[in-house]
């Protein structure tokens, strides 16, 4: 039986889909495949007796098709400030062994590289947030703009059944890159949202 755990904070999301991301609405990905990532910054959290507050970690996955078809190749990057027990706790969670969103989705990334310890640079600023994890991963977000007038638009979504977030703000990726998975995009879906999870 997995240890009980709780976690809350902010999640940054990006992928290769059009703005809004069809996954949020139970539809197939824009191009037929998903190349996405989530970066969780834990404001408060613990896995059993292991504190996780203040840590950041990223899971990036390149799936050959839609997420629910599986066979994804994932990469787990963990804040280099995490000690061995913290890194192992995050690894256990992301492998899907203790519930939460990873308990639902973990089977879809049978190949999971890491956890790799990397220095995180994180700036949480709503839809202008950015994060960099060493040379492995980079995301810079900016507002979506009206294609005619250039004016900033600020859409979002309320997802009562959402497993990653329940209410989020949508943005555009100014840059989204995961070096080892061959992911490199701009002007695609991004989002920022609060999260609160617990398990098992």
pLDDT in tens, 114-164: 999 999 999 999 999 999 999 999 999 999 999 999 999 999 999 999 999
Q: With CA atoms as reference, report the closest residue to 8 among 157, 139, 193, 200.
A: 193
Measured torsion, CA atoms of residues 89, 23, 74, 116, in degrees rounded to the nearest 10? -50
Contacts of 58 by beta carbon, 8 Å cutoff, 6+ apart = 37, 38, 39, 40, 75, 76, 77, 131, 133, 137
pLDDT of residue 200: 84
pLDDT in tens, 56-70: 999 999 999 999 999
The owner of tokens 């910054």 is 41
What's this model's pTM, rounded to 2 decimal places?
Answer: 0.96
């Amino acid at each position: 039986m997995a240890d009980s755990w709780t976690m809350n904070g902010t999640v940054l999301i990006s992928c290769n889909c059009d703005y809004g991301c069809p996954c949020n609405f139970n539809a197939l990905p824009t191009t037929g495949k998903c190349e996405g990532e989530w970066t969780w910054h834990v404001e408060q959290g613990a896995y059993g007796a292991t504190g996780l507050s203040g840590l950041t970690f990223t899971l990036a996955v390149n799936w050959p098709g839609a997420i629910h078809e599986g066979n994804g190749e994932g990469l787990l990057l963990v804040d280099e400030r995490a000690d061995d027990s913290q890194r192992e706790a995050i690894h256990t969670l992301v492998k899907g062994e203790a519930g939460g969103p990873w308990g639902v989705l973990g089977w879809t990334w049978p190949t999971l590289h890491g956890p790799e310890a990397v220095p995180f640079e994180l700036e949480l600023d709503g839809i202008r947030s950015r994060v960099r994890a060493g040379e492995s991963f980079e995301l810079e977000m900016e507002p979506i703009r009206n294609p005619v007038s250039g004016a900033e638009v600020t859409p979002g979504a309320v997802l009562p059944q959402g497993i990653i977030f329940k209410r989020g703000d949508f943005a555009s990726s100014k840059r989204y890159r995961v070096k080892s998975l061959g992911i490199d995009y701009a002007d695609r879906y991004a989002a920022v949202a609060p999260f609160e999870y617990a398990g098992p």
